[in-house]
Structure 1
């Protein structure tokens, strides 16, 4: 026999988890008794929202879920925003929380951290939320969670455990292999029909989303076989490699690309929900598909949202790509010439709202080509969604998609730094957090976590003295500016207080020199403050 807390930690180790993010509380002490001495790395954020964002960044950078250990009540309401962001962006996350004792549930007796129903409060933010009432049921509940991660649209899972169960005796698990879960495969008849339509297409178009991240090589070869212009979503950045001639990037919102998409006679959309924040960042519902739409998604409910398909199949993206590729004839559609023409028409680097950020992303591409760049909702990130280049998947992600939470970049970058696989030379990839001065204030305390973990993060702060995007929106709506000019702190003093390096700059040349220094001096996080009012452009 062992305690449930010890059994849980052993079970997480057996399922391949490596990292737990959490803040101990009086309701989770026994859970930490089980964690002590285990192989799991425990990271202490400064706020439960930070824990959730860290788990999100860890999963996006590694492709594997991490766990969060969260206390009853306020711990769960604190992590709710991070769970909602992960839910919207299809990110796996295992949230294990305490809840009041079994005999107290639903009694409304004014207990510490009590909610009317914690499980009901969280159920809309995750694939499922389960209240464990019998220790013997824990293996089945964990199996269900990992089945979701492996075979469904990956999203957070919440398991709450009454605090009187953590020290309860639990039988040792039976020896034997764990279940192996395989995602659904594409229907052969649907694959054959899709191949026929694509082979007969005159103007094919390929849409690749984050669901295709697990097999970038096959995605690239399929695009080349089709010879089709390819739109990759923000979460699919790097899927075709760096500057592939068929890659239109995440530029579906611009008129020239919209016109081309509307003229496509067959469209293949794989692993994308065709959501607004990927295809319509001007929010005018102007992205239209009039040709035959073939949709492939692991989530059956996503197959009929946003755009109605002519053919839809529930399947894991990589498997569908591998099944479809050998059935496709080599296309001759002048795809590269079309993409080059469209990029020329877009002339993104010459747009007034993009040009100031061109030097920033050229600098990152040249000096830190392998860096993972984690963004917040801020002007450089909005531009970077169109301008940034990454040579691999899982090197560009941010919170401007889906739920659109502020404060994401710093804690998610910490998670990415802890979860990212090593490079061929054995070194971890550099990690850059790109955040505005307003957004950074939401989770500024997580600088302490980066320092605790000795992570050489580079945090680039675009300092435009407040909420610039909302200022512009108020001006456009003829609304007086109110509440959009919060005073930023002294970032030099903040950096010193957290034991971080700091540098303020205002030109691309200064940024290049500072990035080079930061890449060499990796003894502590860097806070690089860009004065947006003096930045050229």
Structure 2
């Protein structure tokens, strides 16, 4: 007999869902009855937070929706942190959970996994949350979720299904797949006004954010027509190739970038919050002295600081293509010269302390051209955020922006590797502290035959916080940790592990890792002598 659980799987298949990250439990096993024989691949994490991070990495690397199954109660509370990271960074994630039977909702009886208002917890980190009260509501709820992912600011959506609804007969319900709306383009009058502002600009500057990650061709075309230097936020890395003459830099918090924002007579900011987590090493509010044009899919975002002289509501790709149709190529501009000067100034402003990380990332890029880099909140990533230039979009993202979680890097890299497949290597950039948050997911990667590479930066604790405390004269309490033998642990999981002592050894290990079907853990001590070379 068709049930709501089986209907859920059929609808997900029809919407093109290819992978689900989930942990079965007594409350959601009926969903797994529906998975049997379907085209959907199931990956079993070792913790629901890992499931959420895997779905996040999968979505960022592919542009597809990351889907998770959880049980009620602790399953939901475990995944909330991952949903918070995805919410902050606008990642499309669908979380489907169970909840206790209908007659227990709002009337606590002390049942297993009971929460007083489970859906309300998820509401804080989702575009919307809904309890499915009957099979008849399922099609519409999933259509709403897919509409958020396809045409609005893509953030997590939470759907919960009471266990008795999950098993309810759905033979009278035909799964309805709704045509999804496309992303809106800005109003023609607003595009005309913005194009006129850009046409008259003498020193235009473009800032591209994660909201433009699917508009690489359109962004490049407009920047070249404007002859305007472009700054890329962390989530926009790769929108311009590393050696593009109009690529001005990356770190919005660096003094040369802040000065460029103040000096430009028109700044075009596309799909970016211009938020404090982009400002390293210290959060500062960006100041735009000239006119600011902002493009965003989220109307609310357009009303936040810094305030735009001209806010444009709509899709980045549509808006950028619309500008290019309205603007003739700028003749005799100095954009290439200005971009080169900014690149040189940003490089000169880099602190000497990040030199080892620059050598490390250069070695990685040389050995694994075109790799995807997924970062935790760790010193390697904080450094790379200031200078690293991946070769294509969706190839460098991490948890140090937005919500700023620890433990993200390893599971998110596993999700990314499942999404992009074996043709592209995926590197998790993690530290000893963060990796210990989610090290159990190595078992998931081995089980799923995911050859993710973990570059583990070992500084014996929470190094970034340790430095922060030292700099403020605070005693180093709670930051110098007992660190295990990671290589032994890696081998215990069935992974390959090695401690790196030279760049030649690193290159050899990276080359070998690409041919394996299990994860590779490469540990580098922060005091390793070879890091001082060059």
Gap change, CA 1:177 and 1:164, over 3 Å in 2: closer
CA distance in 2, matches of 1:477, 1:192: 51
TM-superposed deviation, 1:350: 6.1
Q: 1:389-404, aligned counterparts within 5 Å?
A: 389-404=389-404
Match of 2:522 in 1: 528
Contact kept? 1:195, 1:327, Cα under 8 Å: yes
Match of 1:287 in 2: 286
TM-superposed deviation, 1:139: 0.5
CA RMSD of aligned residues (A): 1.5
CA distance in 2, matches of 1:244, 1:329: 20
Contact kept? 1:206, 1:268, Cα under 8 Å: yes
SS of corresponding position for 2:401 = coil
Contact kept? 1:293, 1:310, Cα under 8 Å: yes
User: How many residues were matched structurally?
Assistant: 530
Are residue 48 (structure 1) and residue 48 (structure 2) matched? yes
Match of 2:298 in 1: 299
Which runs of 5 or more structure 1 residues have no equivalent in the other structure?
none
Match of 1:435 in 2: 430
TM-score, normalised with respect to structure 1: 0.96
CA distance in 1, matches of 2:457, 2:470: 21
What are the superposed Cα offsets for residues 467-510 of structure 1, whole Å, 9 maximum, x if unpaired? 11101110111110000011111112101110010110133232
TM-superposed deviation, 1:432: 0.5
What are the superposed Cα offsets for residues 148-192 of structure 1, whole Å, 9 maximum, x if unpaired? 111110000000000011111113654886313211111000000
TM-superposed deviation, 1:243: 2.2
Are residue 474 (structure 1) and residue 469 (structure 2) matched? yes
Contact kept? 2:280, 2:386, Cα under 8 Å: no
What are the superposed Cα offsets for residues 212-269 of structure 1, whole Å, 9 maximum, x if unpaired? 1112111111111111110111001000123211112322111122112101111111
CA distance in 2, matches of 1:350, 1:284: 16
TM-superposed deviation, 1:523: 2.9
TM-superposed deviation, 1:516: 2.1
Gap change, CA 1:476 and 1:176, over 3 Å in 2: closer
Aligned with residue 455 of structure 2, among 436, 453, 460: 460
Contact kept? 1:58, 1:419, Cα under 8 Å: yes
Q: 1:273-422, aligned counterparts within 5 Å?
A: 273-278=273-278, 280-331=279-330, 332-347=332-347, 351-420=351-420
Which runs of 5 or more structure 2 residues have no equivalent in the other structure?
none
What are the superposed Cα offsets for residues 100-128 of structure 1, whole Å, 9 maximum, x if unpaired? 00001121211100111001111010000
Aligned with residue 511 of structure 1, among 488, 499, 506: 506
SS of corresponding position for 1:345 = helix
TM-superposed deviation, 1:306: 2.3
Match of 1:489 in 2: 484
What are the superposed Cα offsets for residues 74-102 of structure 1, whole Å, 9 maximum, x if unpaired? 00000000000000000000000000000
What are the superposed Cα offsets for residues 22-52 of structure 1, whole Å, 9 maximum, x if unpaired? 1101111112111111111010000000000
TM-score, normalised with respect to structure 2: 0.97
Contact kept? 1:51, 1:79, Cα under 8 Å: yes
Are residue 207 (structure 1) and residue 207 (structure 2) matched? yes
Match of 1:498 in 2: 493
What are the superposed Cα offsets for residues 312-334 of structure 1, whole Å, 9 maximum, x if unpaired? 11101101111111111322431
Contact kept? 2:459, 2:526, Cα under 8 Å: yes
Gap change, CA 1:5 and 1:284, over 3 Å in 2: closer
Q: 1:218-237, aligned counterparts within 5 Å?
A: 218-237=218-237
CA distance in 1, matches of 2:505, 2:289: 48
Contact kept? 1:89, 1:402, Cα under 8 Å: yes
The range that moved more, 323-332 or 143-152, is 323-332
The range that moved more, 360-369 or 309-318, is 360-369
TM-superposed deviation, 1:348: 5.1
Match of 1:107 in 2: 107
TM-superposed deviation, 1:283: 3.1
Q: Which runs of 4+ in 1 moved over 4 A?
A: 172-177
